[in-house]
Amino acid sequence: MHCLGPFELCALCGAPSPQLLRLREPTYTRNKRRSLPNKQKKQEYECMIISIRPYADAAHVHHRLVNNFPQLVTSILREMKESDLLNSETSDELWKRFERYVLNACQVSEKRENTKHGSLLNAKRAMTKAYLKDGLGGLRRELENLLYAHDLDARYSEPYLEQQQKIADLRYPAEWYPQARAIQRTIHLHVGPTNSGKTYHALKRLESSKSGFYAGPLRLLAQEVYHRFKSSGIPVSLVTGDEVRLSEGEKAVVVSNTVEMVNLGQTYEVGVIDEIQMIADPRRGWAWTRALLGAKATELHLCGETRVVPLIRQLAALAGDKLVIHRYERLNPLKAMNKSLKGDLTSLQKGDCIVSFSRVGIHALKADIERKTGRRAAIIYGGLPAEIRTQQASLFNDPNNDYDFLVASDAIGMGLNLSCRRIIFETVVKTLPSGLKRLTVPEIKQIGGRAGRYRSAAQHGKDHQQDNDNDNVGYVTSLEEVDLPYIQEALNTEPPPISAAGINPPDSVYEKFAAYFPSNASLAYMVKRLTEIARINNLFFMCDPSPNLENAEIIDAVPGLHFVDQLTFMAAPMNPREELGRRVAMAFERCVLEHTNGRLLDIEEVNLEILEEPVSGNKEYMHKLEGLHRSVILYTWLSYRFGGIFTDRTLAVHVKELVEERMVRALTEFSANKKLRKNASLHRQIAMQKQLRLQQEFLKANGDADLDLSESEEQYSPDTMNASDNEDAAETDITTDENDFEAESTLNGGTRESKDAAETDNPANNDYQDQQQETSDTTLNSEGSAEHDPPARDALEEEPTSGDATPERKESAEYDPTVRNEDEPARKAANN
């Protein structure tokens, strides 16, 4: 649940916070609670009220506020006009135009959406979202931003609109990479479900190459591939946003990167791009599109889900590349169980993984499990550094210790090879900054696909004759019965095909666009304006600018930075949603502005004092450690871009190691109240229904029942362009029974002589976006421009499975998903 200050408004519906509501608790609620017969029921009822109060008890306040939204806007406009906000440069004519524009935006209907009213609809959506998120204060700030943008539009954009639209013409991304277009490439697309050996086969080809690169979605994956090749005696380098390890001695044959860090200036024989379906990620998809279209590799291997095949066909045709598709089947079956655990944690079995979406909830589950079962539970969530997640996964995978269970967030969906017998969802509703959201079908398949003892493709081939088909079945179920039907349906549903690839304007476009505006113009304004006037091909979509805008607001708070430096910071892995993260980022910006004071010990905002405190299981202590870890990750990231200023990279790496060591110790001491988790899934379902109902009532009250305020993936995925509309494509299908793959050659003979499309696909992975630290914690790399690719946030994000690096877990007894292990009492006695 979103944590609010004492007098803030609900981030979902604009109603007062839980703290304010407690001061005015309805009489019927207070009387009912007092009349409860015993202490236990009283505590349970209080827990339920606290869980749903921001969505239920606040309804009457919500209705009172939202029914007069146009009147609220008018009132704020009147206050703005009477205040000193308007300076002498804001003419009466400009103010009248702005006021008319805002009032028309309040009245425009979704049904009238067209080119003429598109700008008004965008303004209305922005005001509505600001009001729903931050109440009247947020609405006023949004109106002030609109006035500032309106002024700059009138002065610097509208007189030169035709020239600016030419700069913002982003319809042909393939032409951004002429060197890649000059190469005749072959794209090998490896598709299949989780644990099918896709990445394993692509990496085997990379091992035999004379030069190549691997591009993964997370730092953990890049590190895993780096260590795999290094242990095999192959010269390899590691390049991520905040870490560079060069090959010792001879020149590196292979470079292991995060996807944002792929070197487009280097020519390779083989390239491997993992998790290719993330090309449709609303925030990070641009990085996969850039790697696919721009990589100078003669042979490009993409690994991912089957639903990406139609899009890659069209991109290959657009770029003039040959396409060969390899299809794989899952190495072990995956099944949904017929019943849930019905909330009984004592029915857990060795090798079970429980998935939750709240950091506090994860710690509470860990404490409950250890208290009720007497056995240890490892813990993984997105806020933990990649190294800690790997260490916790190793504890869980090792059958020779007492870590029998794993409590994790959706961070396990990528990058970790786990020996899970069952995946158990605590809930199927997670909390995002934009509100409550039910897991999608690809997300459930991606996370649920972790079930089944891990086995590489090579191990599967050796042991296939010896194993019974039922020995290694992966099972998926839920903790509460209310979630099980949705999980069963999702596992039997095929998600729709991916229809478009994400793009972001390159830095060169931003630089040309900024030349039309004064040097002190807001970076956030330019990002918004460029997004508004950009023209996009139907085969692509503009990635969500929200992360760039969040960083841009912090950058605008430190005036005077050169524009190129601003673009670098916009791509940096900042933490703009927390006050500490904002202060640290601004301190680093001032260091660049002043060209001094870049020593880590001289930056007061970096909370190094936490290292002097004794290790504690306190939640606040753990939160401070995570904040310090983010700060040193950002420092290290910047040290590779501003090496003459941030000179203490070695010290920052040492501090990072100290923080990680304390995190490991703190995880063994953390505890939380189980009341916060009891019946959590049912309460989240109720809260989500309340949220949807309140938002619909708000829209109906303003005559816009069809207005879409969601931030779902679909709004960023326009219909695909048929490849035949651009170029003639001849395609041949060759089916080979022996290897169970289909080869498709797509030869392009279109108008452009040679165009290149290369993109990687990840073994059964789904897009997981940056989320709130206190809630859902799948945190992926921060996005940035093509020239400043920032995988630094990878260290704090979940990591994708690479397909073959972890040895198979051995189990002595055949697994029965409905019966607890019979040898458990004997094993406990032996351990004691």
Residue corresponding to tokens 């949004």 = 142
| Residue 556: burial class (beta carbons within 10 Å; 0-12, 13-18, 19+) | middle
SS3 6: coil
Tokens representing residue 457 in the block: 């493709």
Which residues in the chain show pLDDT less than 70? 1-67, 84-90, 110-117, 415, 433-435, 453-471, 668-685, 687, 698-699, 701-832
Q: Please state, in angstroms and rounded to a whole number, the distance separating the CA atoms of residues 477 and 479.
A: 7
Residue 395: what pLDDT?
86
369: DSSP letter: H
Inter-residue contact 413 to 447 (CB < 8 Å): yes
pTM of the predicted model as reported, rounded to 2 decimal places:
0.73
Residue 88: what pLDDT?
54
Long-range contacts of 266-269 (CB under 8 A, 24+ apart): 266/213, 266/296, 267/183, 267/211, 267/296, 267/297, 268/209, 268/211, 268/212, 268/213, 268/295, 268/296, 268/297, 268/298, 269/209, 269/210, 269/211, 269/212, 269/297, 269/298, 269/299
CATH code for 178-327?
Answer: 3.40.50.300
Q: Where in the chain is the domain with CATH 1.20.58.1080?
A: 572-697
CA angle at residue 672 from 671 to 676, to 5 degrees? 160
378: left (phi > 0), else alpha (psi -120 to 50), else beta? beta
What string of DSSP letters covers 489-557?
A: HHHT-PPPPP--EEE---HHHHHHHHTTS-TTS-HHHHHHHHHHH-EE-TTEEEPP-HHHHHHHHHHHT
- Phi/psi at 186 (5° precision): -120, 125
What string of DSSP letters covers 158-201?
A: GGGHHHHHHHTEES-GGGG-HHHHTS--EEEEEE-STTSSHHHH
CA angle at residue 302 from 197 to 306, to 5 degrees? 70
602: DSSP letter: G
Nearest 10 degrees: Cα torsion 814, 819, 820, 825 = -90
Inter-residue contact 588 to 599 (CB < 8 Å): no
SS3 450: coil
Residue 137: what pLDDT?
87
Q: Where in the chain is the domain with CATH 3.40.50.300?
A: 178-327, 334-456+471-492
pLDDT of 205-217, one tens digit each? 999 999 999 999 9
Q: Please state, in angstroms and rounded to a whole number, the distance separating the CA atoms of residues 423 and 451.
A: 5
SS3 25: coil
Q: Please state, in angstroms and rounded to a whole number, the distance separating the CA atoms of residues 768 and 474.
A: 22
Look up the CATH architecture of domain 572-697: Up-down Bundle (1.20)
CA angle at residue 237 from 235 to 243, to 5 degrees? 155
Residue 19: what pLDDT?
39
pLDDT of 618-658, one tens digit each? 778 888 998 999 999 999 999 999 999 999 999 999 999 99
Nearest to 765 by CA among 14, 37, 196: 196
Look up the CATH architecture of domain 334-456+471-492: 3-Layer(aba) Sandwich (3.40)
